[in-house]
Amino acid sequence: MEHYYQQEIECAPVEKLKELQSERLVEQVKHVWENVPYYRKKMQEANVTPDDIRSVDDLHKLPFLSKADLREAYPYGLMGKPLSECVRIQSTSGTTGKRVVAFYTQEDIDLWEDCCARAIMAAGGTREDVCQVCYGYGLFTGGPGLNGGSHRVGCLTLPMSSGNTDRQLQFMEDLGTTIICCTPSYAAYIGECVEEKGIQDKIKLKAGIFGAEAWSEEMRRDIEKKLGLKAYDIYGLTELSGPGVSFECSAQTGMHINEDHFIAEIINPETGEVLPEGEKGELVFTAITKKAFPMIRYRTRDICVLKREKCSCGRTLIKMAKPMGRSDDMLIIRGVNVFPSQIETVLLDQGYTSNYLIIVDRVNNSDTIEVRVEMTEAKFSDSIGEIEKLEKGLVEALKSMLGIKVKVKLVAPKTIERSTGKAVRVIDNRKI
């Protein structure tokens, strides 16, 4: 039985959606022109005015915004509403450079929470559910977003934030949590703990909503197996409010984009040219409803494909594939593009866990890459020869996937740091 939070939008005829998008885009461009001098200047440099934008078909005329723009405009340069109307900031968990600060009016928050509510209901959530939110609460958008969405759906919301896993498990058991929201790496860790404690039959989880970091199909299967639930993907960025930009439905053939709030495009990352549906390229979003931090053609650096097709869930919203790695997650090793997600796929395929670390260095002017992965009980044997064979097999499989030879180091179980938030998978020691 399919549940919708806002069926009239989620299942609206495509022409109606496009009409709505055009109306809202025109309004948003006027709003930005009048209230965000930083972007107005960009528009002027591109010889575009609000009069040139009459529908979604004119979107391509507008200049892009990038993370560099956000850093340059920090802190208040892209704020679209006066301070008196802004009620909150959220800030990205950026690891390099200045943080990105996004602003919200109360209405922006309401719309954001609606988007998260859609995601929870698509995962089967209703007011009868107990929803445990284990994303971090605070500046990070995961906690506040799913918290708000959960309230709107009417679930009993457990605002756990991340960490304190013993307490997470205790409440999960005692309160009968049915839906869990956290990062996939934390879910994998919780799954490990559930297995170790042997409490699989004491927990009542039916669904999980996982996002904020890249995760593979293999990892999905692993989490589903360990926690006995159906795992749903969710996508978002702080610049676009947070989680809830898109969400997976029961069909699990891509994530439905909330396109009444966000218009999606795929572009060629080198030329900026808009690519037709079905082609792979960089995902760009235009937020057409939120006002305090209005993003026009924001480049996400996520590589993706868009497809509009009939979905068994009944929703007509366009779908995006799972991002195939971010262009800034990508490593270039000896001239070859390597995505940590590719390495993860091989590891899980070969029966290892997702507890791994990639160490990149430069020795004698040549890039080196080492993958440290934990030995598992299933793979351990009383024969050095057998273990060496396994290691070689892994090196071969990685070479086959990546095109380069990778050094593999087997390490003792539980020695690779577990994460409760976004996992750090790569240590790049090269000073470039």
Q: Could you give the CA distance from residue 420 to residue 418 in angstroms, rounded to a whole number? A: 7
Site string for another protein, 365-394 (x = CB under 8 A): ----------xxx--xxxxx--xx------
What tokens appear for 176 in the block? 């009968």
**Cα–Cα distance, 333 to 369 (Å, whole number):** 7
For residues 118 and 371, what is the distance between their CA atoms, to the nearest angstrom? 38
- What is the SS3 assignment for 122? helix
Cis ω before 243 (30° cut-off from 0): no
Enter the tokens of residue 163.
């960490």
Nearer to another protein, 204 or 379 (CB): 379
Q: CB of 226: closest distance to another protein in angstroms? A: 19
Nearer to another protein, 268 or 415 (CB): 415
Nearest to 255 by CA among 9, 13, 10: 10
Nearest distance in Å: CB 360, another protein: 18
- Residue 151: which of 103, 116, 105 has the closest Cα? 116
Closest contact distance (angstroms) between CB of 364 and another protein is 19
Q: Residue 15 or 196: which CB sits closer to another protein? A: 196
Taking the least distance from each CB to another protein, the nearer of 55 and 381 is: 381
- The continuous run of DSSP H or E covering 285 comes out as strand 281-287
Question: Contact between 351 and another protein (CB under 8 A)?
Answer: no
At residue 106, what is the residue type? Q
For position 427 contacting another protein by CB under 8 A, the verdict is no
CB nearer to another protein: give 268 or 376. 376
| Interaction between residue 268 and another protein (CB under 8 A) | no
Binding mask 394-423 for another protein (x = CB under 8 A): ---------------xxxxxxx--------
The least distance separating another protein from the CB of residue 264, rounded to whole angstroms, comes to 46
Q: Is the Cβ of residue 54 or residue 409 nearer to another protein in the bound state?
A: 409
Total residues binding another protein (CB under 8 A): 17
SS3 call for 103: strand
Residue 363 binding another protein, by CB under 8 A: no
- For 425: left if phi > 0, alpha if psi spans -120 to 50, otherwise beta; the answer is alpha
**Binding residues for another protein, per CB under 8 A?**
375-377, 380-384, 387-388, 409-415
